[in-house]
Chains A and B, each alone.
Chain A
Amino acid sequence: MSRPHLVVVGASIAGVTAAESARVAGFDGRITLVSAEDHPPYTRPALSKALLRGHQSAETVRLPPIDTQVEVLPGRATALDAELRRVGLSNGEWVEYTELVIATGGRARTLRDFPRTGQSSCAERTLRSLDDALALRAAMGSATSVLIVGGGFVGTEVASACIEAGLRTEVLTLHPRLVPQLGDELSGLVTRRAIAAGVRLTRVDGQLEVPPGQGHVQVVRSSAGEKEADIVLTAVGDDPSLEWLASTTLQVDSGIVVDEHCVAAPHIFAVGDVARVKTSHGVAARTPFWTAALEQAHVAGEAVVRGRAAARYQPRPYFWTESFGLTINIAGPIPASGRFEAVEGDLTAGAGVFRWERSHGSTVAAVNHRLPIRKLRGLTSSLTTP
């Protein structure tokens, strides 16, 4: 029997963590990490925050070096042959595996992805990779205005960086407020701060078009009319990278459906932004967040070695966002709902710890208040115990 070979496709935090977790769990075969990136692994959440604001560089967003016992293979996966247990690469080669972890992440949606509502050209930018972020930062240096399509986490963080860089900044959004995922209270706070900082917020109905730019000027047509700016950035979410799995029998439905051990099919695992975890409650939506990627990768790495005896994945939502002088860390399900209260501090002052209380499992947010994940998670349950 040939020596075990774990192949991990995707070298972001999910892929790197899965490879290292398998080693920690005792996997003693070969490990190959297939990386489609031109850069060493880096932290993606920092791109729309410190990197775009010029506080971090391409060098300082790098993750610590990968274990020397992991081979990094540059390339993009183009096909999966589950029968023969091999992955096809963009250079035409096949890599055989005994176990496979799919961690190919997602890609930014563009208006091209909404064929009924939009038409676009290459004029629009997106922000997903380090190269996207470096290019956007460079463009911001010589621009005077930016139009951002989408007011979610990425759109709002980019708007904040653009305001800080002195650009005339307008956000086109479907919602009356920025980051509606944060719940009415916090999303209202971020929106007020954004407007006070000079952001122009324009509500549109979703019918958007980005025609080819003329010279340096980019144009967006929407229900709010035709608008021009030096930069157009589309931030309307991400889609999982699944094209290369088109001819497989994996259960693919807006993500790769996996069980609580992150198993998609025999000898095939999926983790991070591509994965949807199926539990007794049904198939959850994808959770494209840092700690979800980490925790799924831990589960898969261990399950590669221990199979069903490994720990199961238990979602524990946690994420953070920074914009307009507000750093917000949240533990618990979002969008937050329930009875809202201040545990500490004052929402209008923009600092404190806040909780949405429900009968089981609250959501807690720390706003401009450093609170480590352990304490934040502790607060999600402390009131529910008698």
Chain B
Amino acid sequence: MKLSLQTGRCEGYGLCEEAAPHVFRLPESDSEDVEILFTDVPPEFEREASAGARVCPVAAILISR
């Protein structure tokens, strides 16, 4: 599973980080976009990653396999 952020779409709500703290991290500076911690999501974090992607209110996080 791979995750990507649609350019310019992240608005910094931080819901992804709350739902999936092992996969998403918001930088200390609030003006920066969320950081995706894996290029390839390890299988044990896949459910967490998709939960984190789903809660994004602007659907900024894309999942591909």
Residue positions of A touching B, CB distance < 8 A: 13, 16-17, 20, 23-24, 42-43, 45-46, 50, 56, 60-65, 67, 290-291, 294, 320, 327, 329, 369-375
**With A24-B47, A46-B58 in contact, do A373 and B13 touch (Cβ < 8 Å)?**
yes
Contact between chains at A372 and B30 (CB < 8 Å): yes
Q: Is the interface of B mostly helix, strand, loop or mixed?
A: loop
Residue positions of B touching A, CB distance < 8 A: 6, 9, 11-15, 17-18, 26, 30-31, 47, 50-51, 53-59, 61-63
Contact between chains at A375 and B30 (CB < 8 Å): yes
Which B residues are CB-close (under 8 A) to A61? 59
Which B residues are CB-close (under 8 A) to A24? 47, 51
- Please, could you name 12 A-B residue pairs with CB atoms under 8 Å apart, sorted by A? A13-B54, A16-B54, A24-B47, A43-B59, A56-B59, A64-B50, A65-B63, A294-B55, A320-B57, A327-B11, A370-B12, A374-B17
What's the least CB distance linking B19 to chain A, in Å? 8
Which B residues are CB-close (under 8 A) to A65? 63
Contact between chains at B59 and A42 (CB < 8 Å): yes
**With A43-B58, A43-B59, A374-B18 in contact, do A20 and B30 touch (Cβ < 8 Å)?**
no
Selected contact of A63 from candidates B12, B13, B31, B54, CB within 8 Å: B54
Selected contact of A67 from candidates B31, B50, B57, CB within 8 Å: B50
Residue of chain A at shortest CB distance from B34: A372
Which A residues are CB-close (under 8 A) to B57? 43, 45-46, 290, 320
Contact between chains at A64 and B30 (CB < 8 Å): no
Which A residues are CB-close (under 8 A) to B51? 20, 24
Q: How far, in angstroms, from A24 to B49 measured CA to CA in the complex?
A: 12
What's the least CB distance linking B48 to chain A, in Å? 9
Selected contact of A56 from candidates B15, B17, B53, B58, CB within 8 Å: B58
Q: Kindly list the 7 A-B residue pairs having the minimum CB-CB distance in the complex, ordered from nearest.
A: A372-B14, A370-B12, A370-B30, A64-B53, A373-B14, A64-B63, A43-B59
Q: How far, in angstroms, from A372 to B35 measured CA to CA in the complex?
A: 13
What's the least CB distance linking A378 to chain B, in Å? 11
Contact between chains at B13 and A372 (CB < 8 Å): yes
Contact between chains at B15 and A291 (CB < 8 Å): yes
Which B residues are CB-close (under 8 A) to A20? 47, 50-51, 54
**With A20-B51, A24-B51, A64-B50 in contact, do A373 and B15 touch (Cβ < 8 Å)?**
yes
